Structure formats: C-alpha cells, structure tokens
Amino acid sequence: MKYDKYWGEQTDLAIEHFDIGDEKMPAEIITAFAYIKKSAAKANCKIGKLSAEKCKAICEVCDRIIEGELENQFPLHVWQTGSGTGTNMNVNEVIANFANDIAGTNILHPNDDVNMSQSSNDTFPSAMHISAVISVKSRLLPEIDALIEAFKAVEKESESVIKIGRTHLQDATPLRFSQEVSAWRSMLEINKKMLLEALEHLRALAEGGTAVGTGINCPKEFRGEFLSELNSELAENFKAPENSFHAMTSRDELVFAHGALKALASNLMKIANDVRFLASGPRCGYGEITIPFNEKGSSIMPGKVNPTQCEQVTMIAVQVMANDTAIAFSNSQGNFELNVYAPVIIYNFLQSVNLLSDSIHCFTEYCAKGIKANEDKMKENLNKSLMLVTALNTKIGYDKAGEVANKAFESGLTLKEVCLNEKLMSEEEFDLLTNPEKLV
C-alpha cells in the first residue's frame, strides 16, 4: 500500500457529517460488498459493458478486501444515510483508487465502473442479506449443533436418573432427568429449523433493481449473470426477488429471520434459568445438578460457585430481544420506494448473530458439557414429594387422593403412612402404584 487511505471525497464527507457514536459499519457488510462488486464486475464484463482489464482490476482489489487486507479503509459509522450510500461509495472509492494505484494510472472510476449497473438502494439491501446468510451459516449454526451434542451426552449419561418434575414452580409428577434435558435439546433443534427456513427468504436479493426497483441503468441480462457469478463465488443459491419493488422498500425478510434469532434467545434464557435454578445451593437450594467451577464466585464468600455462564446467556438474550424491537420498528418505517433504516437493521441483526454465537460457544464449553446429575438429591426430593399421590387417583379417586396429600402435608407424615393409617390400601399396593420407574 502506497497511501494511508484510498477512499475519496464522498467518504470524507460522510466522515465529516456523521461523526456519531463508536459503532462502525460491520466487517461482514464490507465483505459482502466486496463479493457484490466482484460479481457485478464479472457480470458487466460478460454482457459487454465493462472491459476485461477493468474487470480484472476490480476483482483483484475485491479479493484483497475479502481477505481482510484493507480493513482500515472502511471508517464509516453505522449512523449515516439510511440507505447505506456512504458505505457503498466508500467501497467503490477504495476499489477504484487502490486499483488505480496498482496500475499507476486512472483506469477505474468509482461510480462509472465499480458501481456500474448498480445503486446503493439495491446493493446495500443485497449486502444485508448476503452477510446475514453467511454469518448465520458459518457462525451460529455450528454453535447450535455443538450445544445439541452436549445435551445429548448429558441425556445419555443420565438415562436411569429419575427426579421430581415441577410445574408452576410447584412439585409435579416424576420424570427422567434425561427427559428434562431432551426438552432443552429439542428447543435448539426446532430453532435450527426455523433459522434454515428464514435463510431461504434471505436468499432473495434486491440487486438489479437499482434506484426504485425499475432497474434503470441496469441491462436486463445483468441480474442473471450477477447471481450466477455470486453463487459460484459463495457456493450458494441466491436468487432474484419475486417483486423488485418489494425488495427495495421492505426489510421484512430480516424481521422474520431475526424473529428466529429471538426465538432462539428466548429458549436459551429458559434453558439457562432452568440450569441455574437446578444448580442452586449447594445446600439451601434445589441442588439437583452440579455445574463446573470456572472461577471464584465471590470477592468475599470463599468457595462460592456462581452460575456465571447462565448469567451471560440471559444477558445476551435480553440484548437480542431488544435488537428485535429495533429491527421490527425500523422495517415499519419504510417510506414509499425505499426503507432508509438499513444500517441500523443490519447492525442489530449481525450483533445478535455474533453475540448468540459467542454466548452459546462459552455456555457449551464451560457449562453444558460439565452438567452432572446429583442423584442423591434428586432421589431425596422425589421421595419427599407429595405429588406421587397422583398415581393413587386410579385406586382411590381424585378427591380422596387430595385428602391424603393434605393430611400428609399438615401432619408431616408420608403419603404411605397416611394411606396405611386410613386403611386405603396395602403397603404392596402403594409401592406398586407409586413406583417411580412406572410413572415415567
């Protein structure tokens, strides 16, 4: 690199006028733009609009951007023009100026060549979808799979362990601990299916609609060639939208996809809360499971084990839910032919993906893989529970069983002792009816 900066006048104006906050345009968007500019150059070359020399120059710089070589050339903040024009021109200028520097002459113009057949209004939405698909596939889905496998291991290890169930935070009928964990695992499997469905909607790209969806200044052959080049580059299946005008004015596909992220976040919060309550204690809480001791839990209380991984998961879940509100509200504010909340939508979307990916990874490695059933405590709680009385319904009826439970609670006797005292059944009948193995 000969110069410190390769952006031009339009980027400088954006730097001057939008010096707002610390949030920079996500690197994933810049990478997506590089794929767009490379594919657009190849498409324009194929249809005879761009020379082979210019196409080669654009592609070479795009490859360097994709490799992260020029990351310091993209200084713009998220809080800029709502169409993302500043970032589109930042990319156009860097590609043109860097290529011109290499060539030693001005062979590329940022608008006429790098932005050929395009507009910020179709490239930025396309970059949003591309970055969303890539980030979910490459970052989030593998972490979900890893947590699913961790829960499967806990299930296998605890197949024979029976514990008391709980509904409404009250004692309920028994179940196997592996069955309880299977619910956590199933939540994640369903969330994965939701995300995969959402990705299909995100594969529709606005590219080719240019300013308002009519495709002005874009040859009809461009879109097909562009998609062919892009899909070859990414081994993907991006496609044209059913309606180009919809693709310009609405970001509802990202709202839908982030809804799947919100569903995942809400399930993770439920799982983390279950884990931290079941691990509470060790002597004055539920204490039915143990979790890894990763770091000292208190600056004043020695030996304290806090559910810190559960805490980070629940904080991340709160942030993702807040991001969902911002994304949905932003989409609702699109006016006429264009939504001008694009930067904040994709910033929040990618933040959610990245936070969830990192959060799940840490939770899997430092908590889920180390969950152990405290069989003695589970057995103790199971034997103390009054809800085993449910199994007596078929023998003595719901009302009489309720009386037995109330008498046991008030007197401090066991269910068995009350039944035998009242001569409601024999000891053998009671043991047979309340055998936990038969109740699960």
Given the residues 138, 186, 298, 411, the one annotated as active site:
298
In angstroms, what is the C-alpha Rg of the chain?
30
Structural domains of the chain, count: 3
364/397 same-domain check: no
187/160 same-domain check: yes
Question: Can 117 be counted among the known catalytic residues?
Answer: no
Q: Please report whether residue 208 resides in a domain.
A: no
Q: pLDDT tens-digit profile of 168-196?
A: 999 999 999 999 999 999 999 999 999 99
Q: pLDDT tens-digit profile of 208-243?
A: 999 999 999 999 999 999 999 999 999 999 999 999
196/317 same-domain check: yes
Q: Please report whether residue 126 resides in a domain.
A: no
* pLDDT for the residue 194: 98
Give the number of other CB atoms < 10 A from CB of residue 170: 10
* pLDDT for the residue 246: 98
What's the CA gap between 217 and 121, in Å, rounded?
13
396/361 same-domain check: no
Residues 146-170, mean pLDDT to the nearest whole number: 97
406: pLDDT strictly greater than 70: yes
Give the number of other CB atoms < 10 A from CB of residue 32: 28
Which CATH number goes with the domain that contains 29? 1.10.275.10
Nearest Cα neighbor of 140 from 366, 310, 350 is: 350
154/296 same-domain check: yes
Q: Please report whether residue 131 resides in a domain.
A: no
Element (H, E) at 14: helix 9-17
CA atoms within 13 A on the CB side of 369: 11
199/337 same-domain check: yes
Q: Please report whether residue 192 resides in a domain.
A: yes
Q: Please report whether residue 411 resides in a domain.
A: yes
171/312 same-domain check: yes
Q: Please report whether residue 179 resides in a domain.
A: yes
265/402 same-domain check: no
First-to-last alpha carbon distance for the chain, in angstroms, is 68
* pLDDT for the residue 280: 97
Confidence of residue 3 (pLDDT cuts 50, 70, 90): confident
The answer to whether 342 and 83 have CB atoms below 8 angstroms apart is yes
- Single out the residue in 348, 376, 404 at which a domain terminates: 376
* pLDDT for the residue 159: 96
Q: Please report whether residue 300 resides in a domain.
A: yes
272/417 same-domain check: no
Q: What residues contact residue 199 under an 8 Å CB cut-off, 6+ apart?
A: 133, 136, 137, 257
* pLDDT for the residue 1: 67
64/158 same-domain check: no
Q: pLDDT tens-digit profile of 66-114?
A: 999 999 999 999 999 999 999 999 999 999 999 999 999 999 999 999 9
Residue type at position 155: E
Give the structural domain span for 407. 385-439
Residues 117-128, mean pLDDT to the nearest whole number: 98
Q: pLDDT tens-digit profile of 261-297?
A: 999 999 999 999 999 999 999 999 999 999 999 999 9
424/358 same-domain check: no
- Single out the residue in 116, 149, 176 at which a domain terminates: 116
- Single out the residue in 82, 116, 150 at which a domain terminates: 116
Which CATH number goes with the domain that contains 396? 1.10.40.30
* pLDDT for the residue 2: 75
Which CATH number goes with the domain that contains 162? 1.20.200.10
Q: pLDDT tens-digit profile of 348-376?
A: 999 999 999 999 999 999 999 999 999 99
314/428 same-domain check: no
Strand, helix or coil for residue 108 = coil
Q: What percent of the chain is modeled with pLDDT above 90?
A: 97
Question: Can 359 be counted among the known catalytic residues?
Answer: no
Q: Please report whether residue 20 resides in a domain.
A: yes
